[in-house]
Homo-oligomer: A and B are copies of this chain.
Amino acid sequence: MTTIMDVETRSGVSRSTISRYLNGKPVTSQNRQKIEQAIKELSYRRNPMASGLKTSKTYTVGVVLPEITDPYFPRLVKYFQNYMHENGYQTIFNSYGNDPELEIEHVKTLANKRVDGLVVATINRKGNHIRECLDAGLPVVLFDRLIEGLDCDSVTVDNYQAVYDAISLCIRKGHRKIGFVGGSEYYTDITRFRGLCDALGNAGISLREEYINFANILEHDATRQFMRLMTLTDPPTLIFCSNIYHALGAFEAMLQYDLVIPRDVSVITFDRLSASPYYGFIQCIHPEFASICQPHKELSLQTAKTLLKRIQFGMDNFEPMRLELKTSFYMTESVADIKEDS
């Protein structure tokens, strides 16, 4: 393996000057030429472990996320990675398959690997593993899900308000029997559920427990959850699907049981199915579900920027940056207007 010493003897320029050249610092054009030639002739490549040993920088960041096979994450991954790559960072993605323990393991592994920063879309309600990182001086950005009581940079969306507004709108359209399907282990779903509750409460509608179907997404399938509400003796007139899995579940239920939307039931989803890559064809199947749309690209970009800033700025004078991006609402005829019925 050729080292900087070889370049030194070959070019006749001293190591440190070469090092400075490599790090983009000013060097006389004479030396620059000699160095460049020697590097080329020897096809020298800097050893990142040696430099990392000195600088404690790996130029690698880690991203820990629930499940890479989701329709939701690959695109985020892509934007994030591109942005980091443009800024000289490599990205290691680890997906924990919605397993809380595995998430913690991945976080620790990456911390031990001395990544320069970490993005975590956590499934855990407790943040000890995150706090350990923070305490050790490792920048962490919480993505998509917050942890209560943990002071940490974060990038999320306005889950509560978006659902509150959407459901309020539906109530104005005459819906009073409103169902909810969602995953019990997600911060996001629980926050969205609160939005739904408050919208109902504010309209003087009391919650009916049989209309609420939380389930562990690993154990129950979303289609069945949806159909459980549909087969109640007094089913809801509108069902809110709290995430993209449950949106898919509703979609499959519609296909499988020949439901006619919104005749049989109105549907609203969080995340628009057809916005996922290679799901565009869903627009051909009518009606497309009304949905709360997340700004995917901006989410990943802001996450990347936040992380980069924290890496540069350091953990001193720590003032958490908490970004909450705005969603938009995409209304369709999947929500019936039933003013006259009531």
Contact = CB atoms under 8 A, between A and B. Distances in A.
Interface of A: 1, 45-50, 52-53, 56, 58, 60, 67-71, 73-75, 77-78, 81, 85, 90-95, 97, 109-114, 245, 248, 251-252, 255-256, 277-278, 280-281, 284-285
Given A70-B278, A81-B95, 6 more contacts: A45-B111, A47-B114, A69-B75, A81-B94, A92-B92, A252-B280
B46 A49 contact: no
Contact of A77 (B68, B91, B277, B278): B68
Contacts of A251: 281
B114 A278 contact: no
A135 to B, nearest CB: 10
Given A114-B47, A281-B251, A91 B90 contact: no
A305 B245 CA distance: 32
Contacts of A280: 252
Contact of A281 (B45, B74, B255, B277): B255
Contacts of A67: 78
A73 B49 CA distance: 30
A235 to B, nearest CB: 21
Contacts of A113: 48, 60, 90
Nearest to A1: B56
A248 B62 CA distance: 32
Given A74-B74, A93-B93, A45 B277 contact: no
B95 A92 contact: no
22 contacts: A46-B112, A48-B113, A49-B53, A50-B53, A60-B113, A68-B78, A69-B74, A69-B78, A69-B278, A70-B74, A73-B74, A78-B95, A81-B93, A81-B94, A81-B95, A90-B94, A93-B93, A248-B281, A251-B281, A252-B281, A252-B284, A255-B285
Interface hub of A49, A52, A109, A248 (most chain B Cβ within 10 A): A49
A71 B284 contact: no
A114 B49 contact: yes
Contacts of A56: 1, 49
Nearest to A277: B69
Nearest to A71: B278
A67 B114 CA distance: 27
A280 B222 CA distance: 12
A85 B95 CA distance: 11
A285 to B, nearest CB: 6
Contacts of A245: 278
Given A49-B58, A50-B53, A77-B68, A92 B90 contact: yes
B93 A278 contact: no
A81 B58 CA distance: 20
Nearest to A72: B278
Nearest to A109: B90
A47 B49 CA distance: 10
Nearest to A111: B45
A53 B10 CA distance: 23
